[in-house]
Chain A
Amino acid sequence: MTPDLLDEGARRRQAHGAAPAAGNHTESGGRTASAGRLTTPGQVDVSHGRILYLEDVSVSFDGFKAINKLSLDIAPGELRCVIGPNGAGKTTMMDIITGKTRPDEGTVFFGSTIDLLRHKEAEIAQLGIGRKFQKPTVFEQLTVFENLELALKTHKGVRASMFFRLDSAQSDRLADILVTIRLADSVNRLAGNLSHGQKQWLEIGMLLMQDPQLLLLDEPVAGMTDEETLRTAELFLTLKGKHSLMVVEHDMSFIREISEIVTVLCDGAVLAQGTLDQVQADERVIEVYLGR
């Protein structure tokens, strides 16, 4: 071995050893690689074209199978309508997605990487899933302004809340949404004093403040006037594309207004899926709705 070669080898070895120390650059650019994909914690991976993915989910309450081997998936930016007779498991499905109910079996994924069954309600909300309840649920003793402020997407820890002040970008956003939900005149009214339709809108406004990627809306137009329903339909159509929406509704004219793909649930499983006309022509669907 010549001294040249030794020198060369020493230099190479040094360069090799120094490389990782130079920066945090791994082959995947500082991110952790798994299963051949790059994942960034806290970000929803929709590279497989699905933002929500339920497979073979089952849950039973006291022997009653509320959800029975349910499989369902939603694409990013999609507006999916879910219909079904009472007791079909629509609300239970939302409970499972948002962490309120644990399924007995099955998998629920948000994007390709986030296993929703491993998170609690608050974490799931932080991950970017917003939910509107069947019965409008707002903070009745707080004003409209305070309701929206609480829903704002920001740090939600105890200390952050104690010293929280609305900055100007957040104020702008809040004002925007107040205009959108047409409650700009009621900023200082107690939410408990709003009409039923206004409460529905306030709750939708709170969802928008959260800026979720996936919105689950349980009967959003129940109790609204025709005009309010129409405006809700307009709003959902503008949200489509940017956000993914899952809308459970009984109002067929509303569904007709907004739907592209409709999923029919029955007895805790998917009965039919397709455009509204397709599912309405489906024999089994007609039987479920009209038969019995």
Chain B
Amino acid sequence: MNSPSPGPSLSLFERALQAEQGVEASNAVTVSRPSPQPSPQRVEGATRGQVVLPGKGPLLTRSGWSAFMVALIAVCAVAPVLNLWVPEGHALHMSTYAVALLGKIMCYAIVALAMDLIWGYTGILSLGHGVFFALGGYVMGMYLMRQIGADGNYKSNLPDFMVFLDWKTLPWHWTFSDSFVATLILIVAVPGLVAFVFGYFAFRSRIKGVYFSIITQAMTFAAMLLFFRNETGFGGNNGFTDFKRILNIPLATPSMRMTLFVLTGLTLLGFFLFAKWLVGSKFGRVLQAIRDAETRVMFSGYNPLGYKLTIWVISAIMCGVAGALYVPQVGIINPGEMSPANSIEIAIWAAVGGRASLIGPIIGAFIVNGAKSWLTVAYPEFWLYFLGALFVGVTLFLPDGVVGLVKKLRRKAAA
């Protein structure tokens, strides 16, 4: 009864159908699976009596790979050359300010990509992703604080803020902060674990939609209040700053800055490929199915809990890694990163770029943050109005974001 063979129960009916179509019943159904096509559009190729099933598409199209390689070369070769070798004052010189800005925005782009996986593909709007970003950042920050050694203002082996608070020893949760390897592990483990526990209870209770969004806002707000307290042991409202070294190498040198920039770029590109693979697999299609019709998914035999939890934790870990790359480049981490507004901004990046497209949110992060860094300098009083107008405008006129707009224009041009 459970035979997986093509339902013998149907054969009579099928034969009748095929007889209707005037096809020899024995070889009516020919399955041919074309080799992966270079174009992303799967071929429409069903002919009479022959079903052509689409083959598995490639990870990236040929033009996609070309663009990827261009980005890779730009990050690993062009930027370092323009910044380090082309002399200052030359027209092609890339300023330190530009390196710092782009490095920072690439961290944001990773967060936007993570947001796209959970919101764009799974339909779960998190307004608390700033927490995971900040947790990754704090783990890195603790390591960087220990790297200062006795060079702080108080010439103590303890971080300055602990001396200020008159603490004599490191609190227990700083135990592994002097080990770089432990830091790398914790950057992944801490946001991952927090996300797992939070997600498990939220998804098991089937909290959905706007309720989930509100709870994530509450989570990030609660975390911010916790980190504001001096007793928590994370430097209170000042957070961590005045970093000096990483792996005993001074931070404030052009080459170190460039190294971090390249690392961030590679991480972004790597996460992009990973996300592309993830959403291209059946796993990714189940996520979209959960977004569109969760009950159907359940009645098809899938337990959505595992799927939601997996993508939620993956998304949180990506944010944590982004935060860890962000802190040494920006030189400060404080509880402000956990403010509810920050998390909302992440959602805006994804919406502006275009949800469920992977590349869209990355573009969105660049557009919004590029505009932010320009506007906050040129017209500081208008930035928030601009952000609000942008969000309203995108929601009303560009439901699929910039990427959706480009696609629409292309289709018009082709027609």
Residues of A at the B interface (CB closer than 8 Å) are 98, 100, 120-123, 125-126, 128, 130-131, 133, 137-143, 145-146, 149-151, 153, 156-158, 161-166, 168-180, 182, 184-188, 206, 208, 210-211, 213, 234-235, 238-239, 241-243
Contact A187 B306 (CB under 8 A): no
Determine, out of B28-36, B126-134, B150-158, B194-202, the stretch whose residues face the partner at the interface: B28-36
Contact A173 B5 (CB under 8 A): yes
Contact A242 B285 (CB under 8 A): no
Contact A165 B289 (CB under 8 A): no
Q: Which residues of A contact B301 (CB under 8 A)?
A: 122, 125-126, 153, 156, 210
Contact A238 B12 (CB under 8 A): yes
Does B13 sit within 8 A of A, measured CB to CB? Answer: yes
Partner of B10, one of A156, A165, A177: A177
Give the residues from 36 to 60 in chain B that come closer than 8 angstroms, CB to CB, to chain A: 42-44, 46, 51-54, 56
Contact A158 B307 (CB under 8 A): yes
Q: Which residues of A contact B56 (CB under 8 A)?
A: 165
CA of A241 to CA of B161, assembled, Å: 77
Besides A128-B2, A177-B7, A180-B13, 16 more A-B contacts (Cβ < 8 Å) are: A122-B299, A126-B301, A130-B299, A139-B289, A141-B288, A150-B302, A163-B281, A164-B282, A176-B6, A176-B10, A185-B46, A187-B46, A208-B10, A210-B300, A242-B7, A242-B9
Partner of B6, one of A146, A172, A206, A239: A172
Q: Which residues of B contact A180 (CB under 8 A)?
A: 10, 13-14, 17
Contact A238 B306 (CB under 8 A): no
Q: Which residues of B contact A150 (CB under 8 A)?
A: 282, 285-286, 289, 297, 300, 302
Q: Which residues of A contact B213 (CB under 8 A)?
A: none
Contact B282 A211 (CB under 8 A): no
Does B293 sit within 8 A of A, measured CB to CB? Answer: yes
Shortest distance between the CB of A222 and any CB in chain B (Å): 17
Contact A138 B293 (CB under 8 A): yes
CB nearest to A98 among chain B residues: B299
Does B292 sit within 8 A of A, measured CB to CB? Answer: yes
CA of A155 to CA of B53, assembled, Å: 21
Given contacts A145-B53, A178-B51, is CB(A161)–CB(B286) below 8 Å?
Answer: yes
Contact A149 B285 (CB under 8 A): yes
Q: Which residues of B contact A243 (CB under 8 A)?
A: 9
Shortest 9 CB-CB contacts between residues of A and residues of B: A242-B9, A125-B301, A121-B298, A238-B13, A175-B51, A122-B303, A164-B282, A173-B6, A161-B283
Does B241 sit within 8 A of A, measured CB to CB? Answer: no
CA of A128 to CA of B4, assembled, Å: 13
Does B310 sit within 8 A of A, measured CB to CB? Answer: yes
How many A-B residue pairs have C-beta atoms within 8 angstroms? Tell me: 164
Does B219 sit within 8 A of A, measured CB to CB? Answer: no
Given contacts A175-B53, A187-B46, is CB(A162)–CB(B278) below 8 Å?
Answer: yes
Given contacts A133-B296, A156-B301, is CB(A162)–CB(B307) below 8 Å?
Answer: no
CB nearest to B10 among chain A residues: A180
CA of A69 to CA of B297, assembled, Å: 30
Contact B2 A122 (CB under 8 A): no
Residues of B at the A interface (CB closer than 8 Å) are 1-2, 4-10, 12-14, 16-18, 28-29, 31, 33, 42-44, 46, 51-54, 56, 278, 281-283, 285-286, 288-289, 291-293, 295-304, 306-307, 310
Shortest distance between the CB of A228 and any CB in chain B (Å): 13
CB nearest to A124 among chain B residues: B299
User: Can you list 20 contacts pairing A with B, beta carbon distance less than 8 Å?
Assistant: A138-B293, A139-B288, A145-B54, A161-B282, A161-B286, A163-B281, A164-B283, A165-B56, A172-B31, A174-B53, A175-B31, A176-B6, A176-B10, A177-B10, A210-B301, A213-B1, A234-B16, A238-B12, A242-B1, A242-B9
Q: Which residues of B contact A168 (CB under 8 A)?
A: 31
CB nearest to B296 among chain A residues: A137
Shortest distance between the CB of B304 and any CB in chain A (Å): 8
Most B CB atoms within 10 A — which of A126, A157, A179, A210? A179
Q: Which residues of B contact A175 (CB under 8 A)?
A: 29, 31, 51, 53
Shortest distance between the CB of B293 and any CB in chain A (Å): 5
Contact B29 A100 (CB under 8 A): no
CB nearest to A231 among chain B residues: B17
Most A CB atoms within 10 A — which of B12, B278, B292? B292
Shortest distance between the CB of B6 and any CB in chain A (Å): 4
CA of A58 to CA of B318, assembled, Å: 48
Q: Which residues of A contact B283 (CB under 8 A)?
A: 158, 161-162, 164
CA of A142 to CA of B291, assembled, Å: 11
Contact A142 B285 (CB under 8 A): yes
Shortest distance between the CB of B83 and any CB in chain A (Å): 39
Q: Which residues of A contact B281 (CB under 8 A)?
A: 161-164
Q: Which residues of A contact B8 (CB under 8 A)?
A: 242
Partner of A157, one of B29, B292, B306: B306
CA of A180 to CA of B300, assembled, Å: 19
Q: Which residues of A contact B13 (CB under 8 A)?
A: 180, 234-235, 238
Q: Which residues of A contact B54 (CB under 8 A)?
A: 143, 145, 187-188
Contact A138 B302 (CB under 8 A): no
CA of A69 to CA of B366, assembled, Å: 62
Q: Which residues of A contact B18 (CB under 8 A)?
A: 179
CA of A146 to CA of B288, assembled, Å: 11
Most A CB atoms within 10 A — which of B16, B18, B33, B302? B302
Shortest distance between the CB of B113 and any CB in chain A (Å): 18
Shortest distance between the CB of B331 and any CB in chain A (Å): 38
Shortest distance between the CB of A61 and any CB in chain B (Å): 18
Shortest distance between the CB of B10 and any CB in chain A (Å): 6
Q: Which residues of A contact B285 (CB under 8 A)?
A: 139, 142, 146, 149-150
Given contacts A137-B293, A208-B10, is CB(A176)–CB(B286) below 8 Å?
Answer: no
